[in-house]
Amino acid sequence: MHERELLKGNIQTLILAILDGQPLHGYGIAREIERRSKAGLSFQEGSIYPALKALERDGCVVSSWETPASGPARKVYRILQRGGGELEKRKATWRELVGSIDLVLGGNADVQPV
């Protein structure tokens, strides 16, 4: 499916955008992506965790174990300053790409690629 290929290359960007608002665990990140996209995007945790590990390895997020009042301990991820900068770069790249594609598809002529 073509949509999956597009998403695969952008899952880290989506995760950074979610974590920019609040620290969350993997399941919470997946559900927040679904909520914000009005169910247009859906990820299983199995897709989220490899991306989180890569972001952690790159110094964009950090994780810690938290034990809620009820239920098992869970790993919670927080965005770091480097991750915030990376998110801004990725947003700019995404907007440029979308603008360029829109021009090719004959969309809004007012959109100018950067």
- Please report, for the domain that includes residue 33, its CATH number: 1.10.10.10
Q: How many domains, the chain?
A: 1
In which band, very low, low, confident or very high, does the pLDDT at 113 lie, cut at 50, 70 and 90?
low
In a domain, 50, yes or no: yes
pLDDT at 24 over 80: yes
What was the pLDDT predicted at 32? 96
* The residue to which tokens 């098992």 are assigned: 72
Cα angle 12-19-33, degrees, rounded to a multiple of 5: 65
In a domain, 37, yes or no: yes
In which band, very low, low, confident or very high, does the pLDDT at 71 lie, cut at 50, 70 and 90?
confident
**Which residues on neighbouring strands pair with residue 65, listed in sequence order?**
75
Beta carbons of 14 and 91 less than 8 angstroms apart: no
In a domain, 105, yes or no: no
In a domain, 98, yes or no: no
Residue length, the chain?
A: 114
In a domain, 45, yes or no: yes
Domain carrying residue 43: 2-79
In a domain, 54, yes or no: yes
pLDDT higher for 107 or 113?
A: 107
In a domain, 31, yes or no: yes
What was the pLDDT predicted at 1? 44
DSSP, res 112? -
In a domain, 58, yes or no: yes
